[in-house]
Chain A
Amino acid sequence: MTETEAVSGRGTREDNNRGIPASGSTTKISARNFSFFYGEHCALRDVSLEIRRNQLFTIMGPSGSGKTTFLRALNRLGNLIPNTRHEGSLKIDGVDVYGKGVDVAELRRRVGMVFALPVALPMSIFSNVAHGPRMQGVRHPKELEEIVEKALRDAILWDEVKDRLSDNASRLSGGQLQRLSIARVLALEPEIILLDEPTSGLDPISTLRIEELLWELVERYTIVLVTHNPLQAARIDSKTAFFLMGELIETGSAYDIFTRPKDKRTEDYVSGKYG
């Protein structure tokens, strides 16, 4: 057993971290010198990175490092704020996210997002999950039921809520609510799932369940996780990028980042000097 395997302990994670593909065909997301501005303030500077299909990609960094800005640029949610602009290119499947003729609603369906604070839309548990498919025009009750059940099973929530699907979703606990948010995204059959500090409001057990869930989901989806907690990045043990003050400092496997960081600032961060 190599040293790396001892740390991660799982073969699947190794495959995910390593084996960088020779061809570019499996690149899902690519940023080239991408910058993002709120008015005059530059929140993201000259970021270049690539995320492969079916990869779990963790972005870590302290508050204000631009990691959420990057995430929100991917589904163009950042543009809801007036006076924002970007430079450089950001591509999904080789198509520029900000290109002309991009259907933003369709983009957001393909690129699902889970927020730091889980949101219960003011409706039943069932409707929370069925809502997305309904907007896509799925009307048939049987079909909706199947989609909802599958999404809830995939989010490992089904057994806890199957008997009370018509209850108002606000009655769920924080951890359940966050899995509901994930189910809501899964119901749309997205290609990419963005998670913005999905466990920041959760207890350790709920956090662990979500982290494990990510490793199951990544077999079918490309996942980008943002966290301000280096311990979480270490636990998740995936390909990791370190953002600081709007800049991408370095990327690498979690093992490399945590044991032999190339940059002094990364070292300071992972060893808890700031953050």
Chain B
Amino acid sequence: MRNKETLVQWILAIVALSAIAVLALIIIFIFKEGSPIIARLGLTKFITGTKWSPTKGMFGIFPMILGSIQVTLGALLIGVPIGLATAIFLAEMAPPRTSRILKSAIQLLAGIPSVVFGFIGLVILVPFIRQWLGGPGFSVLAAAIVLGIMILPTIVSVCYDVLKAVPPAYREGMLALGATRWQAIKMVVLPAARPGIIASVILGMGRAIGETMAVIMVAGNATKIPVSPLEPVRTLTSNVALEMGYAIGEHREALFATGIVLFIIIALLNTLARIVARPEKV
């Protein structure tokens, strides 16, 4: 019996460690493949270079960094207000039954493969933008809208949980002071839930930056700096996915280096999420 216990503990420990080891190996591999070119070109030149032309040996990813930022901010601009409003409605106002049904419907969104989002964007959104707003249709705007919808499940479920975690006493205390329901939400519930709401935004941001397939399908992927939301754009993730199939030598290294930049951005965002989501010390 005692031996069996020890055995189980060992097995679980090995499984857990190997998962972490895989992660570590991936990181090591990306850095090993990508860092030589960064060292050769210089980090500043790689990050701030505006020309990406692998055949001519020019590897500047600034347009892609800017593209990722634009698309992500656009997605947040669309996804956060809608997601937060939905969460407030579900957590504070909707009758429990409605709330349960709607919440699972939204979580279903998270299960739809990103290629389906991309496809819908491609056949509906892109032509719509082209026809009514001008430009090629493949654009920052199209990518932002598709991503904005894709981050909704994250925003809604995290915000819902933090709103539900606000002590009911705050709400009741406010109502007992003659607050209307909206006043109670605005003045006490939302401020109390603020750290969690910010964390949900950062998680959504991480998802938006990392998303690849749907973005490739609607963003147009041109490697120049977009000056209007109606122009095509290429993100960091798209860059890797589009060219990895045929890249060799320096080009391949540059794509891994793109991965390093992406990895660092996402790691920073996750750390940030952890810091802001930490409950305030009393």
Within 8 A of A (CB), among B175-220: 175-180, 183, 187-188, 191-192
Q: Is A80 within 8 A of B178, CB to CB?
A: no
The verdict on A86 contacting chain B, using a C-beta distance below 8 Å, is no
Q: Which residues of A contact B175 (CB under 8 A)?
A: 77, 80, 108
B96 touches A121 (CB 8 A): no
| A221 to B215 alpha-carbon distance, docked (Å) | 65
Q: Answer whether residue B170 sits at the interface, using C-beta atoms and an 8 A cutoff.
A: yes
1/0 per position for A106-136, CB-CB distance to B under 8 A?
1111101101010101110000000110011
B169 within 8 A of A: yes
Q: How many residues of B contact A (CB 8 A)?
A: 20
State in angstroms the CA–CA spacing of A121 and B170 once bound together.
6
> Considering the chains assembled together, what is the distance between the CA atoms of A184 and B169 in angstroms?
14
Contact of A121 among B95, B174, B183 (CB under 8 A): B174
A135 touches B183 (CB 8 A): yes
Q: How far is the CA of A80 from the CA of B93 in the complex (A)?
A: 11
Q: Tell me the nearest residue of chain A to B167, going by C-beta.
A: A119
Query: Chain A residue with minimal CB distance to B166?
Result: A122
A88 to chain B, nearest CB (A): 23
Residues of A close to B176: CB separation below 8 A: 75, 77, 108, 112-113, 115, 185
Query: Which of A77, A117, A121 has most chain B Cβ within 10 Å?
Result: A121
Is B188's CB under 8 angstroms from A82's CB? no
Q: Is A1's beta carbon under 8 Å from chain B?
A: no
Question: Considering the chains assembled together, what is the distance between the CA atoms of A122 and B192 in angstroms?
Answer: 7
Count residues of chain A with CB under 8 A from any CB of chain B.
Answer: 27
Check A136 against B178 for contact (C-beta < 8 Å). Answer: yes
Chain B residues with CB under 8 A of A254: none
- Closest chain B residue, CB of each to CB of A187: B177
Q: Is the CB of A109 within 8 A of B177?
A: yes
* Beta-carbon contact of B96 and A135 below 8 Å: no
A172 to B174, CA, bound (A): 19
A105 within 8 A of B: yes
B interface, by DSSP: helix, strand, loop or mixed? helix
Cβ contact within 8 Å between A105 and B95:
no
Give every chain A residue within 8 A of B183 (Cβ-Cβ): 135
A63 on the interface (CB 8 Å rule)?
no
Closest residue of A by beta carbon distance from B193: A122
Interchain nearest-CB distance for A79 vs B (Å): 10
Interface string of A18-55 (1 = CB under 8 A from B): 00000000000000000000000000000000000000
Q: Mark B254-282, 1 if CB is under 8 A from A, else 0.
A: 00000000000000000000000000001
A105 touches B170 (CB 8 A): no
Question: Does A271 belong to the interface (CB within 8 Å)?
Answer: no
Q: Give complex CA distance A32, B175 in Å.
A: 26
- Residue A173 interfacial (CB < 8 Å): no
**Chain B CB within 8 A of A166 CB:** no
Determine whether B42 belongs to the interface, using a CB cutoff of 8 Å to chain A. no
Complex CA distance for A185 and B174, rounded to whole angstroms:
10
| Contact of A84 with B by CB under 8 A | no
Q: Chain B residues with Cβ under 8 A from A181's Cβ?
A: 173
Contacts of A60 in B (CB 8 A): none
Q: Report A209 CB to chain B, min CB distance, Å.
A: 21
Answer yes or no: A224 CB below 8 A from chain B CBs. Answer: no
- A201 CB → nearest B CB, Å: 12
Q: What is the CA–CA distance of A1 and B172 in the complex, to the nearest angstrom? A: 46
In whole angstroms, how far apart are the Cα atoms of A110 and B180 in the complex?
14
Contact A108 B173 (CB under 8 A): no
Complex contact A115–B173 (CB within 8 A): yes
List chain B residues, Cβ under 8 A from A117: 169
**A115 CA to B170 CA, complexed, in Å:** 11
Given A122-B192, A135-B183, does the pair A77, B177 have CB atoms closer than 8 Å?
no
Known contacts A122-B188, A122-B192, A170-B282; A112/B169 CB under 8 A: no
Q: How far is the CA of A188 from the CA of B179 in the complex (A)?
A: 11
A105, B169: Cβ atoms closer than 8 Å: no
Q: Which of B169, B175, B177, B180 has the most CB of A within 10 A?
A: B177
Within 8 A of A (CB), among B13-52: none
CA distance A105 to B178 in the complex (A): 4
CB distance from B50 to the nearest CB of A (A): 47
**Closest A residue, CB atoms, query B194:** A122
- Can you pick out 21 interface pairs between chain A and chain B where the beta carbons lie within 8 Å of each other? A75-B176, A77-B176, A80-B175, A105-B180, A108-B175, A108-B176, A108-B179, A109-B177, A113-B176, A115-B173, A119-B167, A121-B173, A121-B188, A122-B170, A122-B191, A123-B191, A131-B187, A132-B178, A135-B183, A184-B177, A185-B177
- Knowing that A135-B178, A136-B178, A188-B178 are A-B contacts, what are 20 other residue pairs whose CB atoms are under 8 Å apart, sorted by A's residue number? A77-B172, A77-B175, A77-B176, A82-B96, A107-B178, A108-B175, A108-B176, A108-B178, A109-B178, A112-B177, A117-B169, A119-B170, A121-B174, A122-B170, A122-B188, A132-B178, A135-B179, A170-B282, A181-B173, A185-B176
B interface residues (Cβ-Cβ under 8 A, vs A)? 95-96, 167, 169-170, 172-180, 183, 187-188, 191-192, 282
